[in-house]
Amino acid sequence: MDLFRIQGPVKLTGTVKVNGSKNASLPIIAATLLAPGKSIIKGTPRLSDIEVCCQLLESLGCKITKGDQGELNIDSANIDNPVGDYEIVRKMRASIAILGPLLARCRKAKVSMPGGCAIGDRPVDIHIRGLRKLGAQIHLENGYIVAEAPDGLTANSIFLGGPFGSTVLGTANIMMAATLAKGKTIIESAACEPEVTDLANCLNKMGAKITGIGSPRLVIEGVEQLNPVEYQIIPDRIEAGTFMVAAAITSGELTLENCKVNDMMAVVDVLRNIGVSVESKGDAAVVAGNGQLKTADLTTQPYPGFPTDLQAQFMALLSMSKGNSIITEKIFPDRFMHVAELNRMAANLRKEGPTVIVAGVDKLIAAPVMASDLRASAALVIAALAAEGTTIINRVYHIDRGYEKIEDRLNPLGANIIREKT
């Protein structure tokens, strides 16, 4: 098990390219199951989650080869085993995204209940409810979701809202299944995240008929078949936001290439309001901190609101602001395992239900800490860059799920991160 040894404080300067979106890549890779033949997905990041997704498709019968610069060549001509095995699915919650495509194409699927980060309860009942509305017969058996549609799926009107807003993976699953359903499916309260839009655009390029893309109301006209596709993944807005926060907390200046600022306006707005300069230049952004951070009151919300996947990183940043900030988590109310670890680094954080009160401190101090999940790992790296002394972060396999060799990308910018085996 690897750990990071990070020496701080440092000042990050230079240029870094934002990779393709992990959260867009995973459902798009799953979507290739809908179209027998060879698809090419370009720009996927080299992450452990992507590797798990490829292993999952190979276990179903797909043949996958990897090219340069994140290119995946996926041959889904033969799906001879429509089973999402527990030993693979338990590693990643997004594995549930194969359920809809398998059911639509094979008319049956058996997928283990998914695993993933420990950030609170994330039930799949909305996925199951939506697929049942499309005519699937579904039951649970020994920890597996068993779904059948012997006569194919039938279009319907489906409401996908949940207690914490729209479901991104649920929208993806139902949308993929509906592309091959008979008739016109209407999804109300669909997730509007850019990653969902990217999936819809990919499906349309495969021959689907989806309108209302980017809105809470998706209309899908079922088609007889979909065709293999060549498709380029959008930039990762969460990785971009993480690098922006890293620049801000170190009072540095970073140029982010391949950065779609228009997909992250809620994030940019908060940064500008607390005194961080963010300048958009075509497909790039220049982010600069000046060491004088103001406070903020932010609440995570479904897109276009502030993303839950950047909550932990901004908590690290605001821990060094001048005054008291308030962070409220409305997507995953239990997503606060990083609070105790940041407090070990001399942050002053107090959790009150789904809210954390952040009292700014003059400096963070290095300490041994434990990474609990993907985005918490990023928050600890960010804090370590600004902290005085050597921070040791254990269990960094979490960060490898969402950031490609982050030490190799930050060290040329001025970071001092050493990966060690334990």
What pLDDT score was predicted for residue 114?
A: 78
Nearest to 104 by CA among 154, 41, 170, 171: 154
Residue 278 phi, psi (nearest 5): -130, 115
Contacts of 408 (CB under 8 A, 6+ apart): none
CB atoms within 10 A of CB 352: 9
CA of 22: how far to CAs of 89, 162, 194, in Å?
A: 17, 23, 12
The answer to whether residue 162 scores a pLDDT higher than 90 is: no
What pLDDT score was predicted for residue 116?
A: 46
The residues with which 231 forms a beta bridge, in sequence order, are 41
What pLDDT score was predicted for residue 67?
A: 87
pLDDT over 70, % of the chain: 98
Over residues 95-154, the pLDDT tens digits come to 999 999 999 999 999 999 875 444 344 468 889 999 999 999 999 999 899 999 999 999
Q: How far apart are CA 348 and CA 106, in angstroms?
A: 53
Q: How far apart are CA 312 and CA 399, in angstroms?
A: 13
What pLDDT score was predicted for residue 115?
A: 58
Diameter over CA atoms, the chain: 65
Q: What is the CATH number of domain 22-224?
A: 3.65.10.10
Domain 2-19+235-421: give its CATH superfamily.
Enolpyruvate transferase domain (3.65.10.10)
Contacts of 299 (CB under 8 A, 6+ apart): 305, 306, 327, 328, 329, 330
What pLDDT score was predicted for residue 24?
A: 97
Rounded to 5°, angle at Cα 237 from 233 and 239: 100
Measured on CA atoms in the order 332, 173, 91, 393, is the torsion positive or negative?
negative
Exposure b/e, 44-79, CB count within 10 A at least 16 = b: bbebbbbebbbbbbebbebebeeeeebebebbbeeb
Over residues 5-53, the pLDDT tens digits come to 999 999 999 999 999 999 999 999 999 999 999 999 999 999 999 999 9
Q: How far apart are CA 232 and CA 102, in angstroms?
A: 23
- For the segment 318-331, the average pLDDT, to the nearest whole number, is 96
What pLDDT score was predicted for residue 411?
A: 98
Per 3-state DSSP, the chain is made up of helix, strand and coil in percentages (nearest 5) of: 35, 30, 35
pTM of the model: 0.95
Among the listed residues 117, 192, 202, 259, the single catalytic one is 117
Q: How far apart are CA 374 and CA 199, in angstroms?
A: 23
Task: Report which DSSP code applies to 179.
Answer: T
The residues with which 42 forms a beta bridge, in sequence order, are 232
The answer to whether residue 277 scores a pLDDT higher than 60 is: yes
What pLDDT score was predicted for residue 333?
A: 81
Instruction: Show the tokens assigned to 119.
Output: 């950030």
- DSSP H or E segment with residue 73: strand 72-75
- For the segment 229-236, the average pLDDT, to the nearest whole number, is 98
What pLDDT score was predicted for residue 1?
A: 83
Domain ranges of the chain: 2-19+235-421, 22-224
> Cα dihedral angle (388, 389, 393, 399), rounded to 10 degrees?
50
Mean predicted lDDT score pLDDT of the chain:
95
What pLDDT score was predicted for residue 99?
A: 96
CB-CB contact of 384 with 391 (8 Å): yes
**DSSP string of 345-378?**
TT-EEEEETTEEEEE--S--B--EEE--SHHHHH
Q: How far apart are CA 281 and CA 259, in angstroms?
A: 9
Omega within 30 of 0 (cis) for the link into 9: yes
What pLDDT score was predicted for residue 123?
A: 66
- For the segment 374-380, the average pLDDT, to the nearest whole number, is 95
The answer to whether residue 59 scores a pLDDT higher than 80 is: yes
Q: Is 22-224 the same fold as 2-19+235-421?
A: yes
Over residues 240-269, the pLDDT tens digits come to 999 999 999 999 999 999 999 999 999 999
Catalytic: 106? no
The answer to whether residue 163 scores a pLDDT higher than 80 is: no
Q: How far apart are CA 345 and CA 368, in angstroms?
A: 8
- For the segment 321-347, the average pLDDT, to the nearest whole number, is 95
CB-CB contact of 376 with 312 (8 Å): yes
Over residues 284-299, the pLDDT tens digits come to 999 999 989 999 999 9
The answer to whether residue 156 scores a pLDDT higher than 60 is: yes
What is the chain's length?
Answer: 422
Question: Confidence class of residue 69 from pLDDT cuts 50, 70 and 90?
Answer: confident
